[in-house]
Amino acid sequence: MRRKKTHKLHRMLLGVFFIAAVGLFAAVSPVCGADNIQGLKKSAELGDASAQHDLARAYEEGIGTAKNIPGAVQWYLKAAMQGHVDSQYKFATALDGNPEASHLIGKMYMNGEGVQKNSATGFKLIKESAEKGYSEAQYDLGAMYAYGEGVTQSDDEAVKWWKLAAQQGDSKARANLYKKYKIEVESVTVAKEDSGSVSAPAEEVPVKGRLKDIMKAAESGEANAQYELGKMYQEGDGVKKDENKAVRYFSMAAKKSHVGAQFEYARALGDEHPEALYQMGRMYRQGDGVKKDPATALDWLKKAATKGHAEAQYELGLMYAEGDGVAKDDDETIRWWTMAADQGHPEAKAVIEMKIISKDAAAGDVKAQYNMAKFYEEGSGTLKDLGKAMEWYTKAAAQGHVVSQFKLATALLAGKGVKKSPSGAVEWFRKSAEKDYGPAQFQLGLMYKDGQGVAKDEGEALKWLEKAALKGETRAYYDLGDMYAAGRGSKADHQTAALWLGKAAALGNAEAQYRYGNYLLNGPGVKEDPDEAVKWLQKAAEAGNVEAISALGECYAEGKGTGKSEARALSLFREAAEKEHPKAQYNLGLIYETGAGTKKNPGEAVKWYRKAAKGDVVEAMYRLALLNCNGQGIKKDYSEAIKLWEQASGKGDAMSLYFLGYMHETGSGVNRDPGKAKNYYLQAAKQGNRFALQTIKDMKN
């Protein structure tokens, strides 16, 4: 008798749940009942496009009839050919990416069945289906690769796709693997929705690997995966049996209108499973798929909490704490949170811990004050409140708590939870730094380096950065290397600079990798090691450092630290030049001018020299002037050449001074002026220019 009553209650709850599911899970409304399918078929067969579309939809979703994807594809196509827009969309998108539909439509395009033959489209659809795990598509894709049908023949790809199909129990794939490649695939069975089982090789695709894939898909919101994972936890199939996890995943899939999941969730609800009760309370509290109703949420959560569900106990405590759907009640809050904390619930434990710690903090315990600040800063056990966090950090900092001093200084610097005050930040960073706290030493060093909140003092900056680095504060390594290299805060010390830059480089700092590589390549202060230099430049280049890309190009151009390769140099210079690196733009122009590793192209040389000249590369100004003077890659223009040589000579280029002298001596593009010419020659000669020295000697003779 009791069994009948329970069964009746169970059926009633299931019925209520499925009626509610229309609103709760936004389930698709049926286009027809089972008794209307025959009528739809008749209308569809008579050519009614709307009926054809509705029949296709019924087959696609299993409404009033068994699911039948091939039938859905057939009728969507018929309706689409009559101009039915929704059907055209369904067919074009392979029923919104349904793997079985993608496979069928792909084969239709491959064979020209019902549609114009299009091997490329067919291959694309079959591959999409295969990538979604549809075994028949995996088999067909393997065959296409094996025999080069619609795609370039590839044994590797054939084996890959046939293995995947064989792992799902496809006997044809297993047979072909052995027949063509002598590969055997043994299988084990893993439960899968709607298909009974999936065969997977025991050695190649263990259950753990399969579980990982399903979990990934489930967490990304895929309803079938959520349902399948729920079944695995429900039955202990490949995982430790866990009813709570099973119900949780059924709940996720049920909200996405997965019928099997809706059934399992409703059954759990009827059995008053704690997780199901909790999920229902959560839905009503958050308005997730139902109208928000705190009072109803409270009822469901209380049922779950009474059955020992820790999350429900914690959430129930929150509702009493906030007066959400019930009058505020601190005693009830503590009661439910204590129950949850006793079960190890992290937030509940934090909240209870906070209540205990708050008393010690109020009494002046510095560690408790620091912990209270952390609670408010992280929102652990309470709502996040940076203002209150800073109040507690200030109290702890005033008592000399080093980390609190650093936290307060950081907040003052950023203006978070407290009024922004760089000078105040310096004060607290100093207090913490003087107690040997590495992060504070690093920040204090930066503030002296940049003159932020304090007068700029590179000597002090270097002092604090070095202290921080010696305490293991890795962020200080690059700044130290940079300062020693530039002689900021002390006399330039390239050996020490290279030491710190090398440490920063080893930690993955791309700029440090470039600069350390450059030291090893050219010095000074360290023993040159071109081979090692190229390794570091390569690392920096791979990280996108444009300076390193350009420097690496020079290594390949000169064969320094690596084999000489004009083609590789050209490629690297182009990559850096296109990223607006002036020196690389000059080198690329030089390659096009001289034809080193490529065909000479004066026009391209002019283009890249112009860009480099704008980037202040003196050599580019000089060579661009030569091309203007000779009319190479550009119309001959003495005036432009003189202008460019004047720019370059102003930056100390001796050859440009020499040519300016020559132009004034010969009256090329300018009035002849022997006096000016001699002056330019003398300036060039002072810099040791051999052409100018010879010219002056000739003038004397």
pLDDT at 19 over 90: no
Q: Per-residue pLDDT averaged across 578-596, rounded? A: 97
Cis, peptide link before residue 524, omega less than 30° from 0: yes
Query: Poorest-confidence range of 5-9, 144-148, 209-213, 322-326?
Result: 5-9
pLDDT: which is higher, 40 or 673 = 673
H helix or E strand, kind and range, residue 192:
strand 188-192
For a pLDDT cut of 90, what percent of the chain falls above it?
A: 55
Helix (H, G, I), strand (E, B) or coil at 189: strand
* pLDDT (0 to 100) of residue 75: 82
pLDDT: which is higher, 35 or 379 = 379
* pLDDT (0 to 100) of residue 178: 66
Alpha-carbon gap, residue 138 to 297, rounded angstroms? 47
Give residue-wise pLDDT tens across range 620-629: 999 999 999 9
pLDDT at 209 over 80: no
- Residue 425 within a domain: no
Q: Tokens for 626, please give them.
A: 């030569």
Q: Quick one: pLDDT band at residue 271, thresholds 50, 70, 90?
A: confident
* pLDDT (0 to 100) of residue 619: 97
Q: Tokens for 2, please give them.
A: 């009791």
Query: Poorest-confidence range of 248-252, 374-378, 440-444?
Result: 248-252
* pLDDT (0 to 100) of residue 14: 36
Domain hosting 665: range is 652-701
Give residue-wise pLDDT tens across range 175-197: 677 667 777 665 433 333 333 33
* pLDDT (0 to 100) of residue 32: 44
Query: Poorest-confidence range of 30-34, 341-345, 461-465?
Result: 30-34
Read off φ and ψ for residue 188, nearest 5 degrees. Answer: -120, 165
- Residue 178 within a domain: no
For a pLDDT cut of 70, what percent of the chain falls above it?
A: 89
Q: What is the CA radius of gyration of the chain?
A: 38
* pLDDT (0 to 100) of residue 268: 76
pLDDT: which is higher, 466 or 166 = 466
Residue 420 CB partners (closer than 8 Å, separation 6+): 412, 413, 414
pTM value? 0.56
Query: Poorest-confidence range of 7-16, 272-281, 475-484?
Result: 7-16
The Cβ of residue 230 has, within 10 Å, a number of other Cβ atoms equal to 29
Q: In degrees, to the nearest 5, what angle opens at C-alpha 612 toward C-alphas 609 and 617?
A: 110
* pLDDT (0 to 100) of residue 11: 37
CB contact at 8 A, 167 and 206? no
Alpha-carbon gap, residue 371 to 132, rounded angstroms? 49
- Residue 378 within a domain: no
Give residue-wise pLDDT tens across range 442-492: 999 999 999 999 999 999 999 999 999 999 999 999 999 999 999 999 999
* pLDDT (0 to 100) of residue 175: 65
pLDDT: which is higher, 474 or 75 = 474
From residue 252, give the alpha-carbon distance in Å to each of 258, 288, 396, 700. Answer: 9, 11, 45, 97
- Residue 680 within a domain: yes
- Residue 669 within a domain: yes
3-state secondary structure 453-468: CCCCCHHHHHHHHHHH
- Residue 656 within a domain: yes
- Residue 684 within a domain: yes
- Residue 673 within a domain: yes
- What total number of domains does the chain contain? 1
